[in-house]
Amino acid sequence: MSFSAKSGAWLSSRVPRCWWWRRWQQPSCAAAGPAWSYFGGGRPRAVLDMSYSRHFLDFQGSSIPSSMKKLVVTKLSQNFREAVTLQQDSPVPLPGDGDLLVRNRFVGINASDINYSAGRYDPSLKPPFDIGFEGIGDVVALGLSASADYTVGQAVAYVKAGSFAEYTVVPAKQAVPLPSVKPEFLTFMVSGATAYICLKELGDLSEGKKVLVTAAAGGTGQFAVQLAKAAKCHVIGTCSSDEKGGFLKSIGCDRTINYKTENVESVLRKEYPEGVDVVYESVGGKMFDLALNSLATKGCLIVIGYITGYQNPTGLQPVRAELLPAKLLKKSASIRGFFLNHYLSEYKVALKDLLKMYERGDLVCEVDFGDMSPEGKFTGLESVFRAVDYMYMGKNIGKIVVELPHSVNSKL
C-alpha cells in the first residue's frame, strides 16, 4: 500500500490527537536505546504497521474522508423529523488508544429512537447530540491498544449512541467481532438480545406453557416467537396483516391473530379460557390492558416497551391501572419490566448463543430494508427518516435496517 504525500500531509494534520503518535515522535526515544524500550523495555509484538498510513486508510485502499454525513438531534422532540438534522459536513472522528473507527455499512432502526430524540432517557443530555443505537461495519482505523484484538478490515457490530453516521468511533471493549458484515447479524444487537435475555431471565419458559407475543412480526417479536418455540412452548402472536401472519406461521407461531380482522380479546377468551402463562408485551395502551386480563393464574406479563405511547408528548399511552392490584392478587400474577441496559452482564452470552442458533439454521433473522415502501429501499442516512416513519406506520416485517453505501474510491 502506497503512502502518498497527499495522504501523509492529511495524516500529520490529524494524528497528533492520538497519544501513540505523539510518543513515537519524542526525541528522547532514540536516546533511551532501542525504540521498543520506550514502550516498556521489551521488544513488542508486531501488532501494527508502523508506517501508520495503514491505520488511516481503509482496507480497500481508499482514503478516509475528512468529513462525513451524520444525523444529529438539534431539538428535543418525539417527532423524529422535527428533532433530527442531517449534517452534510461533519468531521470524521479519530479513534483514541482503545478505540476503533468503524465505517458503518448497516444501521438498525428502533422504536425507541424517538424516545432518545425526545431526551427521555437522559434528561441531562442537551442538543446537539448524536443519535442511532446500533451499527455494523468495517474497522478502518484503530488505536494502539485496540490493535491487540482488532485489525483494519475486520467486521464488527456495536451498540452505542451515534450509529446514524457514516463513521463512528467505538470503544474496542464494546465492539462485537463478526465473521462478516451481514445485516442479519445486526438484528441480534438490540432486538435479538432483548428477547433472549428477557425470556431467559424473566420468562421461566418450559414445555407446554402458553406465550403471547404482541407485535410478534416486528424486530424483537420475531425472536421472542422463535425462542419460545425452542423452549417447546405454545406461542400466540398478534400482528396487523395477513402477510405478517404468514411470516409468523413460517417461523413456528402456533396461533396468529390479525387484530385488524379478529378481536384479540375474544379469541383469547374463547381459545385460551385458562389464560396465557407469559406475555412478551411491547405495544402498550389497550393491548397492555387486554394482555393483563388474559393472564393465567401465576402468569407473568413482561413489559419491554409501549410503542403506542412514544409519539405522544408524554411518551405514554393511558392504561386502566385502577384495578391493577386486584387483578394481580386475584391470579397471583405479576408484571415485570425489562430494560436491556440493566442486563449487560448477560449480553455476550446472549449474542454468542444467538449466533450459534443462526449458523445452525435454527433461527430466522428477518430484515426489512423497506423494499416495498413507496420510495423503495432504505439506502443512505437520508432514508433513516423514512425508515422511522415506516416503523410507526406498522409496515415492517422483522428488523428495519438502513444500508449505508460507500464508494471504495473516495478520496480526500
Give, to the nearest 10 degrees, the angle between helix 324-331 and helix 286-293.
Answer: 30
**108 and 174 assigned to the same domain:** yes
**4 pLDDT above the threshold of 70:** no
Domain-located, residue 361: no
What does the block give as the cell for 348? 455476550
Pull the grid cell for residue 45: 509484538
Same domain, 321 and 211: yes
Q: Please give the mean pLDDT across all residues of the chain.
A: 87
Cα three-residue angle 253-254-260, rounded to 5 degrees: 75
3-class SS at 177? strand
Q: Is 198 exposed, middle or buried (0-12, 13-18, 19+ CB in 10 A)?
A: buried
Residue 267's pLDDT is 98
Instruction: Say what the pLDDT of residue 407 is.
Output: 57
Q: Do residues 131 and 177 both lie within one domain?
A: yes
Cα-Cα end-to-end distance for the chain: 16
User: Is residue 17 pLDDT above 70, yes or no?
Assistant: no
Per-residue pLDDT tens for 196-233? Answer: 999 999 999 999 999 999 999 999 999 999 999 999 99
For residue 192, give the 3-state DSSP assignment.
helix
Q: Which three cell numbers stand for residue 274?
A: 385458562
Total count of residues recorded for the chain: 412
CATH code, domain with 234: 3.40.50.720
283 and 303: one domain? Answer: yes
> How far, in Å, CA of 253 to CA of 249, rounded?
5
Total domains in the fold of the chain: 2
Strand intervals (E) in 64-175: 67-73, 84-91, 99-108, 129-130, 134-142, 155-159, 167-171
Closest CA to 88 of 380, 379, 389: 380
Helix (H) or strand (E) run with residue 238 in it: strand 234-239
297 and 315 fall within a common domain? yes
Q: What is the pLDDT of residue 330?
A: 97
Please check the confidence at residue 312 and state whether its pLDDT lies above 50.
yes
Please indicate, yes or no, whether residues 300 and 337 belong to a single structural domain of this protein. yes
pLDDT at 1 over 50: no
**Residue 49 pLDDT > 70:** no
Within a domain: residue 15? Answer: no
* Domain that includes residue 144, residue range: 65-181+366-403
In this prediction the pTM is: 0.85
SS3 359: helix
- Residues 323-361: tens digit of each pLDDT: 999 999 999 999 999 999 999 999 999 999 999 999 999
- Is there a single domain that holds both residue 214 and residue 332? yes
In a domain, 214, yes or no: yes
| Residues paired with 401 in a beta bridge | 108
C-alpha cell at 154: 475486520
Tell me, yes or no, whether 170 and 270 share the same domain: no
Does residue 33 fall inside a structural domain? no
How do residues 375-410 score in pLDDT, each as one tens digit?
999 999 999 999 999 999 999 999 999 999 975 444
Residues 177 and 226 in one domain: no
Q: With beta carbons less than 8 A apart as the criterion, state whether 377 and 369 touch.
A: yes
Q: In this structure, are 298 and 324 located in the same domain?
A: yes
Question: Which residue is listed with cell 444467538?
Answer: 354
- Is residue 117 located within the same domain as residue 213? no
Least confident range of 44-53, 64-73, 157-166? 44-53
Whether 154 shows a pLDDT value over 50: the answer reads yes
Same domain, 296 and 201: yes
